[in-house]
Structure 1
């Protein structure tokens, strides 16, 4: 059974382990860069990590603030980084709140380290993020990392040796697998997970913009 992207708040998201595909010479991995993907709906104060008990260090935190106070179009008012942009969940869990403070209720609890998220707004030490389904809220920046990851959206996705559909298949990934994102061309991205690395079509993953080029 494949683990869902959303689970009740009092249950852990199902995890899948790497396995060999019977009768095939390539590796099939169901999760990578952490423990799969999960999202739980919050029903109360929550017990997942939050700003109060996380170290104030993250990729966002290390970026110099916009000193002149003028927000450039398409840039965050706090970090001056592009908005929207992609980040990943640093720890195994993170609270997503209805507003940018600890006084706001927890709407969601993101689960699993490395889960890709999209930053859509900034306010002080808080970032409004969303997952591939558009669910999310305000998360403290200490819970986020600048490490780029992606979620596989196509089941049994071929990882190819080269960015060419005729290239050899080096591994396959199940839908929902979290992979590390490397370089990207107009149509392809190089990803890694489960000890394997290969090229996939951009349209088969979530966590990178269609026009984004990565070296």
Structure 2
């Protein structure tokens, strides 16, 4: 066990030190505009939204079982933002900016959102004058459907409706979905 831990730290510490040197030496705008940052493991865009697949997920200080648990996420389907990848681990944040490293099998690509504004109206159409189907409290989690530039369709339990995108966490402001 001790041998594995030392080997891990040797591999992990060196890239971190090298990365710091490059980060200080390169200009901030070194990547051409329009080039999305991609995860080194999955080649998927970073950052990206996912959801918690399990009813409970340990969030650790670093990307291994040797690191201490800082948080336990306890809401199945809660939206999370993946900000980094390392082997089978993903660095994630919740709507409050809390997070750390979680094992990849606890995450799902199924998209969910949480309501960020208390009393958010779900409407029958993406129109501020459309009939209100329901009002959601802050923290309600729903499945994400289609999105236009200003509205997203969500399903929370048996209720479906259109919500102003700015009242949701788990979808990018410029994101469009069919």
Shift of 1:194: 2.4
SS in 1 for 2:41: coil
Q: Which residue of 2 aligns with 1:145?
A: 108
* Aligned ranges 1:104-183 → 2 under 5 Å: 104-183=67-146
Determine which structure has more spread, i.e. the larger CA radius of gyration: 2
Confirm or deny that 1:188 pairs with 2:151.
yes
Matched position secondary structure for 1:154: coil
Runs (4+) of structure 1 moved beyond 2 Å?
none
Could you state the TM-score of these two structures normalised by the residue count of structure 1?
0.66
Question: Which protein, 1 or 2, shows the higher relative CO under an 8 Å CA cutoff with sep ≥ 6?
Answer: 1
Structure with the higher fraction of residues in helix conformation: 2
CA distance, structure 1, for counterparts of residue 36 and residue 132 of structure 2: 42
Aligned-pair distance for 1:180?
0.8
Q: TM-score, structure 2 length as denominator?
A: 0.79
**Could you say which residue in structure 1 is the equivalent of 2:54?**
91
1:67-78 equivalence runs, <5 A: 73-78=36-41
Tell me, in whole angstroms, the C-alpha distance in 2 between the residues paired with 1:85 and 1:207.
9
C-alpha deviations, 1:70-91, integer Å up to 9, x for none?
xx74110000001000000001
Q: Which runs of 5+ in 1 are unaligned?
A: 1-71
Give the direction of change, closer, same or farther, for the CA distance of 1:73–1:190 in structure 2 (3 Å limit): closer
